[in-house]
Amino acid sequence: MKRLITPALAALAASLPAAAFAQEAAAPGFDEIGPYIMTTLLFLVGGFLVFWMAAGFAMLEAGLVRSKNVTMQLTKNIALFSIAAVMYWLVGFNLMYPGEFNGFFAFNFVPTSLEPVGLAAADADLGYASVASDFFFQLMFVAATASIVSGALAERIKLWPFLIFVVVLTGIFYPITGSWQWGGGWLSQLGFSDFAGSTVVHSVGGWAALAGALVLGPRLGKYKDGKVNPMLGSNLALATLGTFILWLGWFGFNGGSQLAAGTVGDITDVGRIFANTNMAAASGAIVALVLTQLVFGKPDLTMTLNGALAGLVSITAEPLAPSLLGALLIGGVGGVIVVFTVPLLDKLKIDDVVGAIPVHLFAGIWGTIAVVFSGSATLGAQLTGIVAYGVATFAASLLLWLVLKAVLGIRVSEEAEINGLDSTEMGMEAYPDFSKG
Amino acid sequence: MGKEWTVKLILATIKPYKLEEVRAALTEIGVRGMMVSEIKGFGAQSGHTEIYRGAEYAVNFVPKVKLEIAVSAEMADSVVETITNTARTGKIGDGKIFVLDLADAVRVRTGETGQDAL
């Protein structure tokens, strides 16, 4: 079908608009506005794909918590996304993308404003995309960061202190550290490279989650008499659906981060990113599936789901440069990381309900280092970035969690935790007809 | 009254996958009703370990199906024999059968008692 347009027909088609425009000399041709339109479209499609990851996180977490805590987990997910959306408008976007600034912190507490209705082409930034589409796309990323924290701290944290943490994380912590790299700050000038956010988004969520898990402590009975007592997820169908939704959303996450779609080169790169992203997820899942069979004697579905996600996080720092084979290898290492670091966290008595820390923090660090193999950055720059994000986010999060603990208390009572947060904190059960698990 | 021990209650625990076979065999020999529940318990087959996200845990109670069958005293032996023969695999965990005397039985619809109620 592609070949049906003959050169003669194509020439005719091309000449028609040119003839029409010849009447009004001022109107820009498609060559000028095409890239702006295409990139804006990329942000909109990418943005709604990344938005859908919020659904993925919600379903993954709902499936991996016990049935008595599902309503609470879902409430946290819809609340955190909505808070992130408001905070990113209020301060986040302009803190993260301040334009010229000192590279560390932009004192730019201004809410985001959009272009006027019916913007004329002459007034548009034709070299990029519409501000609205850019804002819409970028705010989806901060929501992903907050989702990572919610999964790790599930089944024992109070709702409101958690949401206060989300307010600060999405409005202040994430945008400031984000500006270091994506806002043109000191790390980007140093040569640090993080295409779609293995570190800027995923590790940041992982560090905040790790600090929270340490302050909060493990779920009651998780570690007793030197033994790990697994608490089985309530709905592996939802967990699997959530993983596939995240996988789908990731095409927007990585593909949209090309930040341009107006040339043959750019749109081809977007395609390349989609294919590499998919490959890394598939390979992470396969590696985790096979490794759990070999190491534990049975394949473990929940770790296979984590493996796919770890593959995705691993490829996120550089989804463009690698070949498909490269993407397979990078994602596969993500799968290995999951299978060996989930039990490691248990040994350290750090209770991460959904495996958020192995998937987003550990695989995020790996993905950021893996950029070195494609030659897009030096090892020194990558390690500097990893350490900078780690120290800043972990320290700031730890401090905030400790303050919240001292002032409000972040953990529900023992009775509430045993009976489940749904009946005690929410007064509403997700599965009122089921027995408690 | 006067119907001492003419009705027996047979309590049997069996492996869940044997339920359909046992039901068919009991229907064959004339059993006209039974109560079935899914239960958990332990006996000689004292649980096992499973693994979840790399951590082993003990499953202390094994799923079983419990049958409760009220039959006339004359039929009790053949019911026990049928269950034993059908549910047996020879491996540990095949289950237990208990036979109890029933003081009486009543059919709710008609008020019949004793063997007439079965």
Q: How many residues does chain A have?
A: 437
Number of domains in chain B: 1
The CA-atom distances, in angstroms, between A42 and each of A84, A95, A322 are: 22, 23, 22
Residue A71 pLDDT > 60, yes or no? yes
Give the nearest partner residue to B57 out of A230, A302, A355, using CB atoms: A230
- B87, B81 Cβ separation under 8 angstroms: no
Residue A216 pLDDT > 60, yes or no? yes
Q: pLDDT tens for residues A379-433? A: 999 999 999 999 999 999 999 999 999 999 999 999 999 999 999 999 999 988 7
The pLDDT of residue A1: 31
Give the nearest partner residue to B51 out of A229, A296, A339, using CB atoms: A296
Q: Do A302 and B54 touch (CB under 8 A)?
A: no
- A312, A262 Cβ separation under 8 angstroms: no
| B63, part of any domain | yes
Which of A22-26, A46-50, B1-5, B6-10 has maximum average pLDDT? A46-50
DSSP string, B47-114: -EEEEETTEEEEE-SEEEEEEEEEEEHHHHHHHHHHHHHHH--SSTT-EEEEEEEES--B-TTT--BG
Looking at residues A215-224, what average pLDDT do you find?
A: 96
Residue ranges of chain A whose CB lies within 8 Å of a chain B CB: 228-230, 232, 292, 295-298, 300, 302-303, 339, 342-343, 346, 355
Q: Give residues with Cβ within 8 angstroms of A151, minimum separation 6.
A: A57, A60, A61, A64, A209, A352, A353, A354, A355, A356
B51, closest residue in chain A (CA to CA)? A296
How far is residue A357's CA from residue B99's CA, in Å, rounded to a whole number? 55
The pLDDT of residue A27: 72
- A76, A151 Cβ separation under 8 angstroms: no
Residue showing tokens 């003990």:
B58
- Fill in the DSSP letter of residue A155: T
A chain contacts of residue B39, beta-carbon cutoff 8 Å: none
Q: pLDDT tens for residues B21-60? A: 999 999 999 999 999 999 999 988 777 888 999 888 888 8
Task: Specify the CATH number for the domain of residue B22.
Answer: 3.30.70.120
State whether the Cα torsion A424-A430-A431-A437 is positive or negative. Answer: negative
Q: Distance from A425 to chain B by nearest Cα, in Å?
A: 28
How far is residue A72's CA from residue A176's CA, in Å, rounded to a whole number? 29
Q: Give residues with Cβ within 8 angstroms of A57, minimum separation 6.
A: A77, A144, A147, A148, A150, A151, A242, A246
Q: Do B53 and A342 touch (CB under 8 A)?
A: yes
Instruction: Name residues 25-54 of chain B within 8 A of A (Cβ).
Output: 51-54
A344, closest residue in chain B (CA to CA)? B54
- A105, A176 Cβ separation under 8 angstroms: yes
Return the HEC string of A241-285.
Answer: HHHHHHHHHHHHHHHHHHCCCCCHHHHHHHHHHHHHHHHHHHHHH
The pLDDT of residue A139: 96
Both tokens of A150, joined, read 């919610």
| B1, part of any domain | no
Q: pLDDT tens for residues A8-47? A: 444 444 444 544 444 555 678 888 899 999 999 999 999 9
Q: How confident is the model at residue B5 (pLDDT cuts 50, 70, 90)?
A: low
Q: Do B53 and A230 touch (CB under 8 A)?
A: yes
The pLDDT of residue A26: 65
Looking at residues B94-114, what average pLDDT do you find?
A: 93
Which candidate in B39, B40, B49, B53 is best for mutational testing of the A interface (most A CBs within 10 A)? B53
B50, closest residue in chain A (CA to CA)? A298
A chain contacts of residue B53, beta-carbon cutoff 8 Å: 230, 300, 302-303, 342-343, 355
How far is residue A428's CA from residue A150's CA, in Å, rounded to a whole number? 19
The pLDDT of residue A6: 38
Both tokens of A9, joined, read 């027909």
Q: pLDDT tens for residues A283-292? A: 999 999 999 9
Q: Do A342 and B54 touch (CB under 8 A)?
A: yes
Count of alpha carbons within 13 Å of A230, Cβ hemisphere only?
A: 21
- A271, A319 Cβ separation under 8 angstroms: no
CATH class for the domain made up of A35-112+125-426: mainly alpha
Q: Distance from A376 to chain B by nearest Cα, in Å?
A: 35
Counting residues of chain B whose pLDDT is more than 90, the rounded percentage is 71
Residue A141 pLDDT > 80, yes or no? yes
B52, closest residue in chain A (CA to CA)? A230
B chain contacts of residue A355, beta-carbon cutoff 8 Å: 53
How far is residue A321's CA from residue A311's CA, in Å, rounded to a whole number? 16
A chain contacts of residue B54, beta-carbon cutoff 8 Å: 292, 295-296, 300, 303, 339, 342-343, 346
Residue B16 pLDDT > 80, yes or no? yes
pLDDT top residue among A11 and A257: A257
Mean residue pLDDT of chain A comes to: 93
Which candidate in A219, A222, A231 is best for mutational testing of the B interface (most B CBs within 10 A)? A231
Residue B32: domain span = 7-117
Give the nearest partner residue to B55 out of A230, A298, A339, using CB atoms: A230
- A61, A77 Cβ separation under 8 angstroms: yes
Q: Do A343 and B53 touch (CB under 8 A)?
A: yes
Q: pLDDT tens for residues A87-104? A: 999 999 999 999 999 999
The pLDDT of residue A25: 52
| B2, part of any domain | no
Q: What is the ipTM of this complex?
A: 0.76
B chain contacts of residue A232, beta-carbon cutoff 8 Å: 52
Q: How confident is the model at residue A86 (pLDDT cuts 50, 70, 90)?
A: very high
Q: Do A343 and B54 touch (CB under 8 A)?
A: yes
The pLDDT of residue A5: 37
